[in-house]
Amino acid sequence: MGMQGDSSGPFVARADVSPVEISSTERRWSRQRRLAYQILVPVLGTIFLIATIPFVVALVQSLTSATGRFVGLQNYILALQNVLLYESIGRTLVYGAIVLPSEILFGLGLALLLHRQVRSAAIRVVIYILAVIPLVVPPVAVGVVARLVYAPGYGVLNQLLLRAGLIHQEIRWLGDPTLATLAVASVDIWQWTPFVYLVLFSGLQTVPQEAVEAAQVDGAGGWAQFWYIELPYLQPLFILIFFFRLADVLRAFDHIFILTGGGPGTTTQLLSIYLYRVEFKFNDTPQAAALAVVVMVVISLFYSFVTRVLPLERN
């Protein structure tokens, strides 16, 4: 009667396998594990240090005064009592409510259109290249170009509208509170809608063609095909896109600072602009550090909650 090993372990002893062979296999796996650790530890260790050191520094600064004296939670209390903080949070929510749904809808529409209607590989490659261009342009350069479009006097958009006879006087795109918000949001939508398109288009390629063809044979229309067949495959990608873009909205700074500087007034003063002003305009490093810690903790808790309710991987 053969010797039977524990099936829960990585190796199972069998009657036709000698102890020498088992020992050799274990040593080989052990060498592979050591090699994997040797490769991963430097990379993961570097990432850990890069992510941890700034947080630790911010945490220490948030608990001390400008002179280095320990003050406990005083900086947090002062930061949370500032009315401008809640105004900037409200502006950020409005900004996110404009750009996130717009980018997701436009990106999804473009992905579905190309997936269903465009079969030419050459055309798909051209569109792919055009979609990548906005993603690789530095945000500062995007802000400068957008400034040339929306600026009064020499702005390209005003000049085009005037020459076409659609308007009779220049529109103050960056001077009106509503138009300024829409202007900075349009820049974000232009730059990041291609990202949504690329992710969702890749996800559509994973949908089994057999299921799509069966649904079409059964008479399913385009909406039913999307809702019942394609959407389940795209749900994890929607969560991924949402968190990527939410993180970008919270740190949106470059093009807003170049276009409006947070103005007119505080109309486009998003949370990132507010943190910048607290740190560099008002020179209040402890309060800025406290706000940064609060934002990071809140986003981490929100991420943990959403990933538990809507797991990225479904069985």
- For 251-280, the pLDDT digits (tens) are 899 999 999 998 898 899 999 999 999 988
Structure tokens at 109: 């529409």
Contact partners, residue 91, CB within 8 Å, separation at least 6: 181, 266, 267, 268, 269, 270, 271
Can you identify the CATH homologous superfamily of domain 81-309?
Answer: MetI-like (1.10.3720.10)
Between 71 and 310, the higher pLDDT residue: 71
Partnered with residue 64 across adjacent β-strands are: 70
Query: Above 80 in pLDDT, residue 123?
Result: yes
pLDDT band at 13; cut points 50, 70, 90:
very low
Name the maximum alpha-carbon separation found in the chain.
97
Q: What is the pTM of this model?
A: 0.81
Q: What is the per-residue burial (b if ≥16 Cβ within 10 Å, else e) of 215-226?
A: beeeebeeeebb
User: 3-state SS of the chain: helix, strand, coil percent to 5?
Assistant: 75, 0, 25
- For 14-42, the pLDDT digits (tens) are 455 555 555 666 666 677 777 877 888 88
Q: Hunting for tokens 């948030």 — which residue is that?
A: 62
**Over the chain, what is the mean pLDDT?**
85
Q: What is the per-residue burial (b if ≥16 Cβ within 10 Å, else e) of 288-303?
A: bbbbbbebeeeeeeee
